[in-house]
């Protein structure tokens, strides 16, 4: 596989990670060690797993890392909803972060499909 930097899925996940980290800084002090930290770790995890997977040999291992990244994006989605409901994120910021998360998830799903298709083709 090539460099993770050329992957749209990684590019979108990286932007999401940076935006989530900035949003987490605005959570109240009592949430910095809990929900804010969890948001940062989930968002970082999505980008980092895409990058690590791209460096792996073999499609099975690559797909495993991409699946983990997808689960991290689902976690980001859940945390953002909780933070919104608790009033830690303004609605306009939530909408922007949700759109970024959705874009990262769509491109990651496309990458997963492409990797799976390549594995199927090479197995024939």
CATH number of 4-123: 1.20.1440.60
Q: How far from the centroid of its chain's Cα atoms is residue 115's Cα? A: 17
* pTM to 2 decimal places: 0.92
Q: Which helix (H) or strand (E) holds 73?
A: helix 59-85
Report the SS3 class of residue 88.
coil
* Each residue's pLDDT tens digit, 22-69: 999 999 999 999 999 999 999 999 999 999 999 988 899 999 999 999
- How many Å apart are CA 9 and CA 115, to the nearest integer? 12
* Burial class (CB within 10 angstroms; exposed 0-12, middle 13-18, buried 19+) of 21: middle
């Amino acid at each position: 596989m090539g460099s993770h930097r050329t992957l749209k899925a990684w590019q979108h996940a990286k932007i999401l990670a940076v935006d989530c980290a900035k949003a987490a800084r605005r959570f109240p002090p009592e949430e910095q060690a809990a929900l804010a930290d969890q948001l940062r770790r989930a968002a970082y995890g999505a980008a980092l797993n895409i990058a690590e997977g791209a460096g792996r040999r073999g499609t099975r291992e690559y797909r495993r890392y991409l699946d983990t990244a997808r689960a991290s994006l689902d976690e980001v989605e859940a945390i953002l909803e909780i933070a919104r409901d608790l009033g830690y994120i303004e609605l306009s910021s939530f909408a922007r972060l949700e759109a970024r998360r959705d874009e990262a998830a769509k491109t990651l799903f496309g990458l997963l499909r492409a990797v799976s298709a390549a594995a199927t083709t090479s197995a024939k």
